[in-house]
Structure 1
Amino acid sequence: MAEEIKEKLSRYRTAPFDSRFPNQNQTKNCWQNYLDFHRCERALGAKGSDVSPCQWYRRVYRSLCPIEWVTTWDEYREEGTFPGKI
């Protein structure tokens, strides 16, 4: 399974269509993938598992989200004031 994910990551170009977010505005898609990445890292890291499958979410949010948003959210997480549930 990990090799299948690595193969998909190697062919990755941009965020694929997600039917949960069919509109042109992809703000919610960006936010959800940011949360999913950090939730995935936390969950797999706590189990001591390989966190490489989480890289999918990272690539998606990095292609959708403005860098300023990600920087701000990272700062909020470090300060402990992040508004999302990770």
Structure 2
Amino acid sequence: MLDAGIELGFEPPEDFGIPDDEVTTTIDVAPYADNKCKALEAHTSQGENMFFLLLPPEVLRPVFGQEYFILRHSDVPSPAREVDLFAGLR
């Protein structure tokens, strides 16, 4: 978000997130982005995450439209960058 010029309203701690080069899997969940936002709004326990909800919808949807994972081990061949959590298992 910082690279896109989006002001967070706070200085992220050093351990906020992980380096992009460690991410091995990116899943497109854009059709569910609005549902994710509504779920955060519905749970007061998510108060520390509410700064995301202050972002304008045109910024929030792309932020919530991707889920990121790190593959730690695989017994089946897999590409270096995945877009399917079940690749190689179907």
Greater percentage in strand? 2
Greater percentage in helix? 1
Structure of higher RCO (CA pairs closer than 8 Å, 6+ residues apart): 2
TM-score of the superposition, structure 2-length normalised? 0.23
